[in-house]
Amino acid sequence: MGAPVHTVKSRVAAISIFASAAMATAKLVVGIAIGSLALISEALHSSVDVVATIVTWMVVRVSDLPADKEHHYGHGKLESLSALGIIAMLYVLAGGILVESYSRLHEGAPPPTLSAIPFIVLLVDIAVNFWRARALHRAAHDTKSQALAADALHFGSDVLGSLAVIIGLALSGWGYAWGDAAAAVGVAVMIAMLGLRLARSTVETLLDRAPEGVMEQATAAIRAVPGVVDVERLRVRMVGSTHFIDAIVQVPRTYPIDRIEEIKRKAQDAVAKTLDDADLTFTAVPVARDNESVRERIMVIARNSGLAVHHVTVHDLGGKLTVSIDLEVDGDMALTAAHDIAQGLERNIRDEFGEDVEVDTHIEPLEPELPLGTDAAPDRVETIRLALSGFAADGAIHDIHSVRVRDTVAGEIVNFHCRAAPSMSVIKVHENVDAIERALRRAFPTVKRVISHAEPPDA
């Protein structure tokens, strides 16, 4: 298991501070000693890198802090702001170098005093900066840190800058007095070009420009989640290393809330797996699918009205639609109020299917959610069991078992299991079991409800 992102960024930034300070000091001392503007310019550039790296080290310790009540999207934008500050420092330095270079070229300043020392310092500097640039680039890629990416560019420019200084010093040694000043101009131009490259990506992040290809990846990941009809709209922005995604997603309107919540969870997991670090805001929009049945559409109408319905039957009588519904309402409700509810449901169904649809609503009392009950005495359970077995004798239903009887304030409730032939259709099983249930209620008027469970012999 790898180290936390915060630890990786802090460690890399801290190592860069010491390396930058050491090499900047060496180049500045040698540059002043031999009178080389190019080497002094490169030393000042490295000094800016020291300041930039200290800022980076401080920023990454804050940017990875979690979101709070003042910063709902975290603190990642601090990295972009610090990168802009570093860019400004680089351009100030580049401008100063250009002014001094022009002055030396115009006034004909004497060439620097050459020895092996500046070349040794520059070669060591190239090796150190090359190693640091690779390490920072790798860490910036792994952690998606703009601050570390800015630091990597600085050290990459140091490598090119040191090469330019070596060329300038060599030209001066060969008798071209303008070589050192020209190398300083080259350092300034490289600083400006690399700063422009960094500024572009930083400004795009601050302006919430969607990262290249992320929108397509996130959309494909969400569309692949089972239950998603389509992605209506999706927006992406980066804050630090986190992709914040706002998605409006179409889901079937027939799905219950818990099923939609499961789709949301799977969408978050899919996006996080695709983009590594993602925060998804998922807005579900219920839509009608082309393959919705009439019964499903009626259940949606009832659910949207907060009504409990069952036994929905639909018939097509040669172009005329007939609908029958059992509607459950509070048993203590007055008939006029219950009738108004039924009429409202019927009106909504006609609005959906047309005025010529025939709707009949059977009103019945709503079953209490948690009725108070107790287990019946064993002899009563045995009496019911024997009666059920007798009603099932010589029929398609057999092996009456797992009989339970409960006494409630509304009457007795009977549950039992039975068996039927494996090849028997559900309709036939229901007809035979229903006949047994009716016979039991006739024989025992105190039985309010009978719930049966039919199963094949090998269940």
Q: Is the pLDDT at 156 greater than 80, yes or no?
A: no
443, 408 contact by CB (below 8 A): no
Mean pLDDT of 16-45: 79
**pLDDT value for 1:** 45
pLDDT band, very low/low/confident/very high, at 253 (cuts 50, 70, 90): confident
Closest CA to 239 of 79, 17, 424, 437: 79
Q: Is the pLDDT at 5 greater than 60, yes or no?
A: no
Q: Is the pLDDT at 9 greater than 60, yes or no?
A: no
Q: Is the pLDDT at 209 greater than 90, yes or no?
A: no
Do 178 and 38 reside in the same domain of the chain? Answer: yes
Q: 154, 179, 206 — which closes off a domain? A: 206
What CATH number did the domain enclosing 233 receive? 3.30.70.1350
The segment with the largest mean pLDDT, out of 130-139, 361-370, 415-424, is 415-424
Q: What is the mean pLDDT of the chain?
A: 81
Question: Could you tell me where the beta strands, DSSP code E, fall in 367-456?
Answer: 373-375, 398-408, 411-419, 447-455
Minimum mean pLDDT among 187-201, 380-394, 410-424, 427-441: which range? Answer: 187-201
Do 158 and 305 reside in the same domain of the chain? Answer: no
Do 202 and 218 reside in the same domain of the chain? Answer: no
**pLDDT value for 130:** 79
Do 168 and 219 reside in the same domain of the chain? Answer: no
Mean pLDDT of 261-286: 90
User: What is the residue range of 438's domain?
Assistant: 373-455
User: By three-state DSSP, how is residue 240 classified?
Assistant: coil
Do 72 and 33 reside in the same domain of the chain? Answer: yes
Q: Is the pLDDT at 344 greater than 90, yes or no?
A: yes
Do 302 and 281 reside in the same domain of the chain? Answer: no
Q: Which long-range CB contacts under 8 A does 278-281 form with residues at least 24 apart?
A: 278/218, 278/242, 278/243, 278/244, 278/245, 279/242, 279/243, 279/244, 279/245, 280/245, 280/247, 281/244, 281/245, 281/246, 281/247
Q: What percent of the chain has pLDDT over 90?
A: 30
**pLDDT value for 147:** 58
**How many helices and strands (H and E) does the chain possess?**
12, 10
Choice between 109 and 408, residue whose per-residue pLDDT is larger: 408
What is the CA 155 to chain-centroid distance, rounded?
35
Side chain identity, residue 214: V
Q: Is the pLDDT at 145 greater than 70, yes or no?
A: no
What does the H/E/C string look like for 344-383?
Answer: HHHHHHHHHHCCCCEEEEEEEECCCCCCCEEECCHHHHHH
Total count of domains within the chain: 4
Q: Is the pLDDT at 274 greater than 60, yes or no?
A: yes
Do 66 and 156 reside in the same domain of the chain? Answer: yes
Instruction: Quickly tell me which residue has 């990454």 as its tokens.
Output: 60
pTM attached to this predicted model: 0.49
pLDDT tens per residue, range 193-202: 877 777 776 7
The whole-angstrom separation of Cα 154 and Cα 49 is: 7
Choice between 15 and 309, residue whose per-residue pLDDT is larger: 309
275, 217 contact by CB (below 8 A): yes
Q: 185, 206, 227 — which closes off a domain? A: 206
**pLDDT value for 371:** 64
Choice between 85 and 32, residue whose per-residue pLDDT is larger: 32
Mean pLDDT of 98-121: 75
Minimum mean pLDDT among 164-168, 225-229, 444-448: which range? Answer: 164-168
The whole-angstrom separation of Cα 214 and Cα 218 is: 6
Do 277 and 305 reside in the same domain of the chain? Answer: no
Choice between 439 and 36, residue whose per-residue pLDDT is larger: 439
pLDDT band, very low/low/confident/very high, at 419 (cuts 50, 70, 90): very high
Q: Is the pLDDT at 449 greater than 70, yes or no?
A: yes
What CATH number did the domain enclosing 143 receive? 1.20.1510.10
Q: Is the pLDDT at 96 greater than 80, yes or no?
A: no
Do 272 and 302 reside in the same domain of the chain? Answer: no
Do 280 and 151 reside in the same domain of the chain? Answer: no
